[in-house]
Amino acid sequence: MKSMSPDFRGILLASFLVAASHAAAVPLRVVVIGDSLTEEYAFEVPFSAPDSNPAVANARNWPELLSAHRPADVTFGSYNSAYFSYPDLRNGGYKTNYGVPSFTTGDWVAVIQSSFLDTFSSDPVVALRYPTRLALVRHLQEEADVAVIFLGGNDLKRNYTGVFHDTNPPALLAQATANLTIIHDFVRATAPALPIVIATSPDIGATPEVASKYNDPARLVIARQRVAAMNAATEAMATGRGATVARVHLLTDQVFDEHPFHLNGTVFSMVPDPANPPHAAFCKDGFHPNTSAQALIADILIDAINRATARAIPRLTNREILGTVLGLNPDQPYLDWSGAAGGMNDDPDHDGLPNLTEFLLGTAPDHPSAPFSFNSGTILTIPLSPAGMRFATPVVEESPALANWQPVPASRVQLQPNGTWHVSPGPSGRQFYRLAATPRP
């Protein structure tokens, strides 16, 4: 057989590289089975639009955010802005985004178990189940690189009274996991090789609407334990079937336990606001997460999708969420603290501590400070300001001769209950120390 000329091999190689590059640039195709947390907020104006303009949403949810800020990495298909543009249960929106408001896991089981006979029902929801199933099957088989199942909040909402008050956990908790199993198995049977992500359920007890009604501390502990057990069962089911888990419940745990709830020191309000402002964590209904919280949900799902597909879709950093997504100034916590003291690298009081380090330490930028001390002559004590810690990342560096500074190993740095750091001495004799600070990403 005649061998190829070098020029021809070069052309083949170049063509292959171009093709490979093009393939790598194709956005990941995502099919979602969800509820109102997933349906585009553009169609959820009863809570996603401000009272001043009730027809136009100013809040965005995670598919909208990923489509807007990661379009080269993720796609949910073409977008249709018209209501009732699909002949199924969806209002409109992205072609492969099956977010149906108010749907529980049981409602989705009814969809995937529907038949042609349901189309003759006088109930429009029942009649549209089978067309929804047909479209979903087609998209799972032909237009998907990963499937995301994100349900459970409405299961809890339909009987949170039972979750909170009943002596025994209500059956819906176990049933939700059983239903998710059915939904997972349907997706797996429909597209055997398709990676599947299953999200845990947000704990709706963290939402202002629910928290205002169910606020007995002892009962809340029990309710949280019950929701956690449901999510643990869901995780066990998902991992046992080879699916990837997106731990969305960690966000509502954070809302429960982190006070104030913030991103890099920018504090978000838990009080529903009729304007749906960017600093509100929840929409005006006090139940659905506002854009800021939805961006954090997007990050949780990006992480899970990356693990499921071996992709490297970049997360939305906190500074990106604050600046690009919400239109806030990511440096506002520093600016509020510094006043007229200048930039982060300025040192107006000439004490050797740049302003950002002063913010981290909680010392005054316009008054010389000597905040470091040695405990028992050997342990370096560094006080840290909670507000500064929320905004900046501290790094303790050491050097034997004021040159070639290196970070102190984490094993020698301990955070004390009062917020100070204790730095234990190293094995190499006398050391000089300094504190470096950078804004959190």
Kindly report, residue by residue over 99-153, the tens digit of the pLDDT. Answer: 999 999 999 999 999 999 999 999 999 999 999 999 999 999 999 999 999 999 9
Please tell me whether residues 414 and 294 are part of one structural domain. no
Average pLDDT over residues 250-278: 97
Chain mean pLDDT for the chain: 92
Nearest Cα to Cα of residue 352 among 400, 425, 402: 402
Q: Kind and range of the H or E element at 98?
A: strand 97-99
For the chain, how many structural domains are there in total? 2
Confidence band for 377, pLDDT divided at 50, 70 and 90 = low
Average pLDDT over residues 417-428: 86
pLDDT at 8 over 50: no
Nearest Cα to Cα of residue 280 among 302, 297, 299, 263: 263
Please tell me whether residues 305 and 340 are part of one structural domain. no
Please tell me whether residues 256 and 344 are part of one structural domain. no
Report CA 117 to chain centroid distance, whole Å: 40
330: its two tokens: 């990511």
Residue with tokens 């393939």: 23
Please tell me whether residues 354 and 313 are part of one structural domain. no
Average pLDDT over residues 398-403: 89
Give the DSSP letter string of 28-58.
Answer: EEEEEEE-TTTS-GGG-HHHHS-TTSTTS--
Q: Which residues of 267-289 are buried (b: 16+ CB within 10 A; e: fewer)?
A: bbebebbeebbbebbbbbebbbb
* 69 touches 80 (CB < 8 A): no
Asked if residue 15 is part of any domain, the answer here is: no
Average pLDDT over residues 59-88: 96
Nearest Cα to Cα of residue 291 among 28, 70, 81, 57: 57
Range of the domain at 385: 335-439
Please tell me whether residues 270 and 158 are part of one structural domain. yes
Return the pLDDT at 16.
43
Please tell me whether residues 63 and 42 are part of one structural domain. yes
- Of residues 246 and 22, more confidently modeled: 246
* 343 touches 334 (CB < 8 A): no
Asked if residue 18 is part of any domain, the answer here is: no
Please tell me whether residues 320 and 349 are part of one structural domain. no
* 303 touches 315 (CB < 8 A): yes
Which of residues 285, 303, 325 is at a domain's end?
Answer: 325
Which of residues 274, 297, 325 is at a domain's end?
Answer: 325
Average pLDDT over residues 340-362: 93
Which of residues 325, 343, 363 is at a domain's end?
Answer: 325
